[in-house]
Amino acid sequence: MSKLLEIALGIVTGIGGFLETGSLATSAQAGAGFGFQLIWAIALGVICIAFLVEMAGRLAAVSHHTLPDAMRERFGIRFFLAPLVAVGLVSFLVLAAEIGGVALALQFASGVSYRVWALPAAAAVWLLLWKGTFGVVEKGASLLGLVTIAFVVGAVRLHAPLADVVAGLLPTAPEHDPARYWFTAVSIIGASVSPYLFYFYSAGAVEDEWDEGYLGVNRATAALGMTFGGGIAVAVLACAAMVLHVRGIQVDRYEQIPLLLSTPLGRAGFWLFVASLGVACFGAGLEIALQLAYLVAQGFGWRWGENLRPREAARFTLVYTLALPLAALVSVAGMDPLKLTVISMALTALSLPVTVVPLLVLMNDPLYLGEHTNGWISNAAVLAVSVIACIVALVAIPLQLMGS
């Protein structure tokens, strides 16, 4: 019974925790720009992240190692510096985008500029990390994130055609603007396959003291949580296709995105959007700040743990204490939140091989996984998506940046 409860809670956490500023903005851009045509990119990202999350959980449950810890031990500190820098950099950019998302939600609600809200938003994240426990951070934020189900209600109210949604699962060539099409596709994949998700998950599994008895829970949580979470991203895309694409509106600013819910749900839809953006970004901000601290502390072998008092893991605490105000300063400086979000998602896709390949090597090492090493399907799926996303990003990012 308790295992079933764990699975249910894990799925709810997956649903509530999936949508954040990256998946929200990129799905909205995709739906507005290309109708239902880019649903395949969400599906590809969801398949990849479900495999990666399952692997990270399995590694933690079987070897009792977190990802950075195992990487440093297996490859040595010099090699570990490459994923440390890559994951650290993209996570910092994504953290800046999430803080910007919280600040924008507050701007939409109050009329006061997001640049004013950025530092208070970061301070609120910091306070909860300082005072809260791992359970509060993980479960609390994700449960509140269930407000994002409003997008599914919106898509149903708009009568999004199921046939078009299903047809969008098959990749097709763009009818116009190929550079923007491929750039949006890699941004969607980057948003879905954010390294913070599986690094955070592996640390969480160790914090929750998982053992081999949790392998079934892990598999169900990864597969169902990510699939249902991806369903919400598809709903965002469908709302954008039905509200914006049909009117010839492309998403160039965040101010256009609340229309996705206000059109089908009226004034309540507007407030549901503000709550979705604020809560989803706040939850993601908590997880990313914590994941940055995990990454550095575990990588260098420092004492770590969100369930410890700050003074018991001082260097771990120092990492998120420094990262949060720095991330907020990006918004204070006036960087366009939508550009920051989309570029950080594309860079995430670009960095995938650096973050994913060492994990795959670990997952095939019987010294860590015993009889639970990867099968060929998971190896092939993750490697293929990562390499393809990286190659497309290599071509699409310069084209998009120079084109705009």
Of 237 and 257, the one with the shorter C-beta distance to another protein is 257
Residues that bind another protein (CB under 8 A): 107-108, 110-111, 177, 243, 247-250, 252-253, 255-256, 258-259, 262-263, 266-267, 269-270, 394-395, 398-399, 402-403
Of 78 and 267, the one with the shorter C-beta distance to another protein is 267
Interhelix angle 352-363/337-350, nearest 10 degrees = 40
Cα-to-chain-centroid distance, residue 300: 24
Of 209 and 252, the one with the shorter C-beta distance to another protein is 252
Of 150 and 243, the one with the shorter C-beta distance to another protein is 243
Of 60 and 260, the one with the shorter C-beta distance to another protein is 260
Of 247 and 315, the one with the shorter C-beta distance to another protein is 247
Question: Cβ 389 to another protein, closest distance in Å?
Answer: 17
Question: Cβ 31 to another protein, closest distance in Å?
Answer: 14
Question: Cβ 105 to another protein, closest distance in Å?
Answer: 11
Measure the CA–CA gap between 174 and 182, rounded to whole angstroms.
Answer: 8
Measure the CA–CA gap between 168 and 188, rounded to whole angstroms.
Answer: 14
Tell me which residue of 79, 113, 119 sits closest to 99, measured CA to CA. Answer: 119
Tell me which residue of 118, 238, 68, 95 sits closest to 167, measured CA to CA. Answer: 238
Interhelix angle 67-75/259-299, nearest 10 degrees = 40
Of 292 and 392, the one with the shorter C-beta distance to another protein is 392
Of 268 and 367, the one with the shorter C-beta distance to another protein is 268
Tell me which residue of 46, 37, 29 sits closest to 172, measured CA to CA. Answer: 37
- Count of helices and strands (H, E) across the chain: 20, 0
> Quick check: 150 and 273 in contact, CB under 8 A?
yes
Question: Cβ 258 to another protein, closest distance in Å?
Answer: 7
Cα separations (Å) of 386 from 43, 89, 131, 223, 346?
14, 18, 37, 18, 12
Measure the CA–CA gap between 100 and 119, rounded to whole angstroms.
Answer: 10
Question: Cβ 111 to another protein, closest distance in Å?
Answer: 4
> Quick check: 199 and 87 in contact, CB under 8 A?
yes
Measure the CA–CA gap between 77 and 73, rounded to whole angstroms.
Answer: 8
One-letter amino acid for residue 232 of the chain: I
Question: Cβ 300 to another protein, closest distance in Å?
Answer: 34
Of 32 and 286, the one with the shorter C-beta distance to another protein is 32
The secondary structure of 239-308, three-state, reads HHHHHCHHHCCCCCCHHHCCHHHHHHHHHHHHHHHHHHHHHHHHHHHHHHHHHHHHHHHHHCCCCCCCCC
Measure the CA–CA gap between 93 and 101, rounded to whole angstroms.
Answer: 12
Task: At 22, list the tokens.
Answer: 């990256």
Of 161 and 398, the one with the shorter C-beta distance to another protein is 398
Question: Cβ 7 to another protein, closest distance in Å?
Answer: 39
Question: Cβ 338 to another protein, closest distance in Å?
Answer: 11
